[in-house]
Structure 1
Amino acid sequence: MARVSRWLVAVPMAALALATVYPLVFTTNVALKTRREYVLDRFSPADSPRADNLSTAWNSVGLARYFANSLIVVLCAVALLLLIGSMAGFALGRLRFRGSRALFLGCLAALFVPFQVIMVPLSRTLTTFGLIDTYPGLILAYVAQFLPFTIFLMASYYAHVPTEVVDAARIDGNTLFGVYRRVMLPLGTPALISVGILNTLFCWNDVLIALLVMPSAEHRTLMVGVTSLRGQYSDDIPTFAAGVLIAAVPMLVIYLFFQRQIAQGVTAGATKG
């Protein structure tokens, strides 16, 4: 009976893993084909794998510029999210002041608001302040969109830190900022790593916000640039597949190296204390 139960779990999980891995394998195979090979048989392995499509997508199409744009925006946005989110999470998770509960519930409620609801007022606000088609505009848009999630996770984590730890730090003469900097930041490292990686994935894979805030071709992010390839290279699927592969590989590498930290950070708040 136990063996049957294991098979009932293993078979669906194996099918799910195959369904997840196959698109990446198929995209890689197409990216290594010539246009002629793809037209003749799109599913067969590449006869002579070559990196010409990757170099074309990187140099000729302009993905190198889009990659740099994404790197700048994502690094700055994630740094701000971690700084503001950890400070707000410490305040809402450990401190009690008038309105703290309402602020936390407000952050929780913001998680359920889809971006499509706020995209028009956000666009008008950014236009008013001259932030459309600028790096700061997209960075602030990402911070506004993903800050509630960051605050919620950090507040949930910090709420499970023993009160005695904070009290001992205050007795030692630390101010509230000293407690945050010397005690809570080191203790929150697992959650910070987790939320940092997740926010990196969210910002890197975004298309809608970047398309709204960065309309010019020069300031496109990588995902928007790859999406535009589908129209420009509709008859050159291998080049388009190469662009998709270039965009996917960095996040795939990050996930493979930090998947344990992601899982630990997400569950850490529920097991502390």
Structure 2
Amino acid sequence: MAGRRVSKWVVAVPMALLALATVYPLVFTANVAVKTRREYVLDRFSPADALRWDNIAAAWTSVGMSRYFLNSALVVTCSVALLLLFGSMAGFALARLRFRGSSVLFLGCLAALFIPFQVIMIPLTRVMADAGLVDAYPGLVLAYVAQFLPFTVFLMTSYYSTVPAEIVDAARIDGNTVYGVFWRIMLPLGRPALLSVGVLNALFCWNDVLISLLMMPSADHRTLMVGVTSLRGQYSDDIPVFASGVLIAAVPVLVVYLFLQRQIADGVTAGATKG
């Protein structure tokens, strides 16, 4: 009995410290965001005297965070929609259709996961510039799709491989074409994995700075994270406004994770085992 209690504490204490280290930066940022500049200069760690929303309102309107927020929402929505469409179709084809070169294609997707974006960013930028897609929303959407599609294909292929082959065979016997099997059978069965990979890709695209900074150089087309990064230089003497911008960028991610954390975990582990 005593050994079990000790083992529980050995696990609980590090987990509690890890949770505290994760939550504290967000609490500190929220506390700074509702402070005045004078309060922050006098004591940056003490609780705010009152809840003031002036800094958040200023970051949303005067600084232009509302425009950056809409830019990110547009780009992320289009990117995730294309990733789910192409990723689910490719995953179904690689998992259930037998054609020459399917194994090589799947290995190519795995190999693409190990290529850092820094290796391809210069050729990608030159290709996009030659095509006139730099500083344009379609160019950024295509860059996100190219960067995160291998991960999507890998996850969807792993998930569709767990679907019993008898289901596909029965659908074909009933007269469904390959497209009918995908749209009527496999796509509805893949909802857990689609939800998981969709949320993960949305977080990847939302939190991205490097790709967006390369593809969207103008201030009007900046995404939210690039806009927050630019605030650090513009408002270096007004940290509460900068903290408000960070808070605006963090809240959507936090809300998505809080409401969909179980679905994310279920979708990621769904293709881990057969049957």
TM-score category (smaller protein): over 0.9
1:105 and 1:3 mapped to 2: Cα distance? 46
Runs of 4+ in 1 over 3 A off after TM superposition: none
1:30-109 map, 5 Å: 30-109=32-111
| Partner residue, 2:30 | 28
Mapped partners of 1:241, 1:146: distance in 2: 29
Q: Give the Cα separation in 2 of the matches to 1:93 and 1:206.
A: 30
Structure 1 residue 271 displacement after superposition = 3.2
Shift of residue 272, structure 1, vs aligned partner: 4.5
What's 1:162 paired with?
164
Identical amino acids, percent of aligned pairs? 78
**1:73-152 map, 5 Å:** 73-152=75-154
Amino acid at match of 2:143: A
Q: Which residue of 2 aligns with 1:14?
A: 16
Q: In the TM superposition, what whole-angstrom CA distance separates every residue of 1:163-194 from its partner, at most 9, and x where no partner exists?
A: 00000000000000100000000100000000
What's the TM-score once normalised by structure 1's chain length? 0.99
3-state secondary structure, aligned to 1:270: coil
Pick from 175, 178, 183: which aligns with 1:176?
178
Task: Give the deviation of 1:270 after TM superposition.
Answer: 1.6
Q: Distance in 2 between matches of 1:191 and 1:56?
A: 39
C-alpha separation in 1, matches of 2:203 and 2:222 = 17
Q: 1:210: Cα distance to partner?
A: 0.1
TM-score after normalising by structure 2? 0.99
Instruction: Tell me how many residue pairs correspond in the alignment.
Output: 273
Q: Deviations over 1:11-52 (max 9, x none)?
A: 000000000000000000000000000000000000112000
1:260 has 2:259 as partner = no
1:94 Cα shift? 1.2
Alignment-mate amino acid for residue 123 of structure 2: P
Q: 2:236 aligns with which of 225, 234, 241?
A: 234
Unaligned 5+ segments in structure 1 are: none
Q: Which whole-Å deviations, capped at 9, do the CAs of 1:59-89 have from their partners, x for residues lacking one? A: 0000000001000000000000000000000
Alignment of 1:167-206 (within 5 A): 167-206=169-208
Deviations 1:120-165 (A, max 9, x none): 0100110011000000000000000000000000000001110000
